[in-house]
């Protein structure tokens, strides 16, 4: 049956929840409403009560002369990152690592390590390129493999950027395993206003199995001892150094969802990003021992979230990172600027990755693949951020990660979701894929169902917890 849809009804997507006899409607400004099935049928037939018409207009599902400009402005703000140029610049300082994680996504080096360090000569060129960015605020992240093992170059880059930054605001961050962190390093990081991300995969039983040290020392005990000293200096400097904690779940971890959440509480952590295992590098070779299906991970995650709920219900604030990202998008209707959850993805547009050997890539995910398929160029042939943004590879990445070009464009969750070309290539050998087949789609769908069902069922207690997380 065909209906005459009025011109002032904004474009929307919808998802039915038959078990609740309700329908979710979303639009391009990330606004949403939940209506009864009967009300939805009336909207389609354009048989509106005054109250339903007011509800539609209030949430920008109806265009009026008064709200058109606001709708355009809101849509532009949600995608503002597209016009800033790359603001996240990820620098790999070395290919050396002091851990031998069983799920490592890259090939770490443990011999002749000096050959695999970023040099000051290449670092100088990276600094020059980064500071050509038109953005007034930049983040420099030192990442993969273990950046603190090339400490001289890390401090050199920080000092040079501080000298040359002029009126730019620079945020420094690093991802570290916290295995070796003496006092002088902690002081330097705090004095230069660093933020650090750390991986912890639960207690001795799992962490040491997932993330063993090269020298066979107890990596979890090392982490705990270094964490104590970091906390000491945080209090002394009155600054927060650690902001993100990351856990990667292997098959060994699946049996311990409650213990995992409780470990974070025992370590006095408040924000954790719990990630499923990617089929990359080393994890591919031993997948028979550590691999699992996405269904297994989601079953684990449900129990894990229940335990986080219990912890929060007992007056301790423990935030799940992925749920936090989605409630910002859904409940606050704002872009949290999480680089991996953009449409199109932030490759070359929002972030750029600079390797230790002078090669420049679209994003940090490239390291999961050997070869130059996602490279932009090398440092000798790029002189300006403009060369990166206007690169053909950047254009291709933007095109294939744009959800409007995919089957996702029909989904009610499209405004809040994303796809990763590199993960699509890893899993399917192509960058254009039916996203519904990908593991990330299944996980994102689970998380968004989780958040919206709390709204549909009017789960006041969980919604109150979400609001507390957003403070």
Report if pTM > 0.85: yes
> Residue 135: what pLDDT?
86
In tens, the pLDDT along 350-361 reads 889 999 989 888
What pLDDT, on the 0 to 100 scale, is given for residue 3? Answer: 59
| pLDDT at site 111 | 73
Do residues 138 and 130 make contact, with C-beta atoms less than 8 angstroms apart?
yes
CA dihedral 11, 77, 400, 346 (to 10 degrees): -160
Percentages helix, strand, coil for the chain (3-state, rounded to 5) are 45, 15, 35
pLDDT for the residue numbered 426 = 80
CA distance readout (Å), 256 to 104, 259, 306: 21, 5, 13
Q: How far does CA 370 lie from the centroid of its chain? A: 22
Closest listed residue to residue 137, CA positions, set 165, 176, 178, 103: 165
**pLDDT value, residue 249:** 93
Q: In the structure encoding, which two tokens stand for residue 434, read together?
A: 């039916």
Please report the pLDDT score of residue 34 as a whole number: 97
Bridge partners (DSSP) listed for residue 247: 274
CA distance 246 to 254: 16
145 DSSP 8-state letter: S
Angstrom CA distances, 468 to 244, 287, 387, stand at 18, 39, 43
Q: What is the pLDDT of residue 281?
A: 56
CA dihedral 329, 172, 122, 396 (to 10 degrees): 0
Provide the pLDDT for residue 462.
95
Task: Show the low-confidence residues of the chain (pLDDT under 70).
Answer: 1-5, 216, 279-286, 367-368, 370-371
Task: Please report the pLDDT score of residue 297 as a whole number.
Answer: 96
């Amino acid at each position: 049956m065909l209906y005459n849809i009025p011109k002032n009804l904004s474009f929307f997507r919808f998802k039915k929840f038959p078990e609740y006899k309700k329908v979710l409607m979303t639009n391009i400004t990330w606004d949403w409403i939940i209506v009864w099935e009967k009300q939805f049928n009336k909207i389609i037939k354009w048989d509106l009560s005054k109250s339903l018409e007011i509800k539609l207009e209030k949430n920008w599902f109806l265009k009026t002369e008064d709200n058109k400009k606001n709708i355009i402005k809101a849509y532009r703000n949600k995608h503002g990152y597209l016009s800033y140029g790359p603001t996240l610049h990820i620098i790999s300082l070395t290919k050396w690592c002091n851990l031998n994680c069983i799920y490592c996504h890259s090939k770490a080096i443990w011999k002749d390590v000096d050959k695999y360090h970023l040099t000051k000569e290449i670092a100088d060129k990276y600094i020059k390129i980064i500071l050509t960015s038109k953005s007034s605020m930049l983040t420099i992240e030192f990442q993969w493999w273990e950046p603190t093992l090339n400490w001289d170059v890390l401090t050199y880059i920080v000092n040079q950027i501080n000298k040359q930054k002029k009126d730019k605001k620079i945020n420094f961050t690093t991802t570290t395993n916290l295995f070796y962190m003496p006092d002088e390093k902690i002081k330097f990081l705090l004095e230069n206003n660093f933020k650090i991300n750390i991986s912890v995969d639960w207690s001795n039983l799992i962490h040491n199995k997932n993330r063993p040290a090269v020298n066979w020392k107890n990596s979890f005990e090392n982490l705990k001892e270094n964490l104590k000293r970091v906390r000491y200096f945080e209090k002394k400097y009155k600054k927060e150094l650690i902001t993100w904690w990351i856990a990667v779940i292997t098959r060994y971890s699946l049996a311990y969802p409650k213990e995992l959440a409780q470990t974070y509480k025992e370590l006095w952590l408040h924000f954790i990003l719990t990630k499923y295992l990617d089929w990359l590098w080393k994890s591919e070779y031993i997948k028979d021992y550590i691999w699992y299906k996405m269904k297994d991970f989601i079953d684990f995650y449900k129990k894990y979230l229940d335990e986080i709920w219990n912890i929060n219900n007992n007056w301790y604030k423990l935030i799940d990172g992925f749920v936090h990202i989605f409630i910002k998008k859904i409940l606050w209707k704002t872009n949290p600027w999480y680089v991996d959850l953009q449409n199109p993805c932030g490759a070359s547009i929002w972030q750029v990755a600079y390797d230790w050997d002078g090669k420049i890539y679209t994003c940090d995910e490239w390291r999961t693949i050997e070869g130059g398929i996602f490279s932009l160029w090398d440092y000798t042939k790029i002189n300006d951020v403009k060369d990166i943004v206007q690169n053909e590879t950047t254009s291709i990445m933007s095109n294939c990660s744009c959800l409007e070009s995919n089957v996702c464009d029909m989904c009610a969750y499209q405004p809040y979701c994303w796809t990763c070309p590199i993960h699509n290539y890893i899993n399917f050998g192509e960058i254009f894929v039916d996203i519904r087949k990908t593991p990330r789609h299944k996980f994102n769908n689970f998380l968004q169902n989780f958040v919206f069902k709390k709204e549909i069922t009017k789960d006041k207690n969980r919604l109150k917890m979400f609001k507390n997380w957003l403070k």
